[in-house]
Structure 1
């Protein structure tokens, strides 16, 4: 009876990279049986996608190797086709909303199919991400098969804790969000410096 009482609910955690997810994983694993879900076909180019994924795997191996990591197949052409409708949108606009929604929808479907009690995303840890949009997207999906865990992981110094933790684990920290448009913006910033 005690084992049933003490069992943690399962949670599928969509992550974008190791640095952003580090402190979120640390905090959530106290309350949930975590599975990491890496669904990031938005990331350009493929070498950057692999670098972020491998860094996440290295972090999990060093931090808590009992946590399972699931990688969604990388479909950058399909993703770019979807995002290209908003190619001229500024960072933080409609293109970003769509990007959140596409990745979160992948996580939601996986959580439903594999019977997770809860699901959420680490995206809200970034000061550049709109937590209100993220929570609206999550709550807009049916809650009958799995429940969305609302969050704003940047609160209570969450972003700073993630930054410190990523430094402690000597993690690679990217200089742009991920998509080809944010990559191009980063190149323009570097050129101006």
Structure 2
């Protein structure tokens, strides 16, 4: 039996139930989810599915990440709600490829872990699956593992295995609609040009879950705990000195009350220089290098290969000891001596992140 996999939260429980109900079946897991966006989120979910399948001893096949084809398939349905027409097209596509893969492998049936998702319509999934099964001459199994406290058992197993629990279905449009309803920033879509890993970003989660696998392979016990913190994302910034655009690097947790300010440097307490408006502060690259222990030749070099986020945060705390100061701190090649125009849009917001703690016996 080929089992289409959407995520580890659903598959870990679903695969165990299939084993109980179909003990004679050889299960082949098939991860095919080109709807998941961004790609880093796709890699994170696949990482967890790989771990789950290893624990269960089930073969896993990864399907193609043909995201562009999926986008074309749902064109015009961007504003559809959850369980609407876009979801039907999405199921059709994933079920079509899964049914074709099952027939290619000589399997007689296929099913999908989407059936256990409480956010999906069981009847809609069953209808689409049976239609495609008939097309490929195989059967579609649609067990209802949500009933009889199945959803509660699924959540218990996920918690016990400390599985990554995503908080949106996966697609770009579903994410946008959900964050808009929550009045939250879709920070999953923020990836700096520099490649610097941001706090509570998908890239940070991938690093955490890869380290978790390393600890498991080494037999080291651990806990994953959650912590509430102040997060930050820079959307864009532009510095002009004497009307000329000037390379600048913005330190973490810099915010501006309004998107635009202008003024002149009216004082300096080394290594910081102060704009006469809106708490804006500047630091020259030579001082940045000295304090950060770096050797950048220009701010442009710094922009595309900055130090890790935490190291820059330490530098900010050295420059401004207060934990509560959100003033803009701007790194420049040299302190401006002409009229300054500065525009920036940044977001500081309450958030929750995970932390991996190895448990070492004393």
Q: TM-score, normalised by structure 2?
A: 0.48
Deviation at 1:42, TM superposition (A): 0.3
- Residue number in structure 2 paired with 1:7: none
Secondary structure at 1:90 match in 2: coil
Query: Is the aligned partner of 1:68 residue 2:78?
Result: no
- Residue number in structure 2 paired with 1:177: 169
Shift of the 39–144 alpha-carbon distance from structure 1 to 2, 3 Å rule, reads closer
Q: Judge which range, 102-111 or 148-157, deviates more.
A: 148-157
Larger proportion of helix: 1
Q: Is the 8 A contact 1:135 1:151 kept in 2?
A: no
- Residue number in structure 2 paired with 1:155: 147
Structure showing greater radius of gyration is 2
Query: Is the aligned partner of 1:14 residue 2:1?
Result: no
Measured in 2, the distance between the counterparts of 1:58 and 1:191 equals 31
Secondary structure at 1:86 match in 2: coil
Secondary structure at 1:70 match in 2: strand
- Residue number in structure 2 paired with 1:3: none
Q: Is the 8 A contact 2:100 2:136 kept in 1?
A: no
Match 1:53 to one of 37, 46, 49: 46
- Residue number in structure 2 paired with 1:4: none
Match 1:39 to one of 29, 32, 37: 32
Query: What is the CA deviation profile of residues 51-82 of structure 1, one whole-angstrom value per residue up to 9, with x for unaligned ones?
Result: 000011111222x22x1001101011111111
Deviation at 1:157, TM superposition (A): 2.1
Structure number with higher relative contact order (C-alpha < 8 Å, ≥ 6 residues apart): 1
Secondary structure at 1:127 match in 2: coil
Q: Is the 8 A contact 2:98 2:110 kept in 1?
A: yes
Secondary structure at 1:47 match in 2: helix
Measured in 1, the distance between the counterparts of 2:136 and 2:88 equals 24
Q: Could you list the runs of 5+ residues in structure 1 that have no partner in the other structure? A: 1-10
Measured in 2, the distance between the counterparts of 1:42 and 1:73 equals 11
Deviation at 1:190, TM superposition (A): 5.1
Shift of the 17–144 alpha-carbon distance from structure 1 to 2, 3 Å rule, reads closer
Number of residue-to-residue matches in the alignment: 181
Segments of 4+ moved more than 4 angstroms: none
- Residue number in structure 2 paired with 1:23: 13
Query: Is the aligned partner of 1:77 residue 2:68?
Result: yes
Measured in 1, the distance between the counterparts of 2:159 and 2:111 equals 24
Q: Judge which range, 12-21 or 153-162, deviates more.
A: 153-162
- Residue number in structure 2 paired with 1:125: 116
Shift of the 21–190 alpha-carbon distance from structure 1 to 2, 3 Å rule, reads farther
Match 1:87 to one of 66, 74, 78: 78
Q: Is the 8 A contact 1:117 1:147 kept in 2?
A: yes
Q: Judge which range, 116-125 or 46-55, deviates more.
A: 116-125
Q: Is the 8 A contact 1:16 1:38 kept in 2?
A: yes
Q: Could you list the runs of 5+ residues in structure 2 that have no partner in the other structure? A: 186-349, 351-362
Secondary structure at 1:113 match in 2: helix
Q: TM-score, normalised by structure 1?
A: 0.88
CA RMSD of aligned residues (A): 1.7
Larger proportion of strand: 2
Secondary structure at 2:74 match in 1: helix
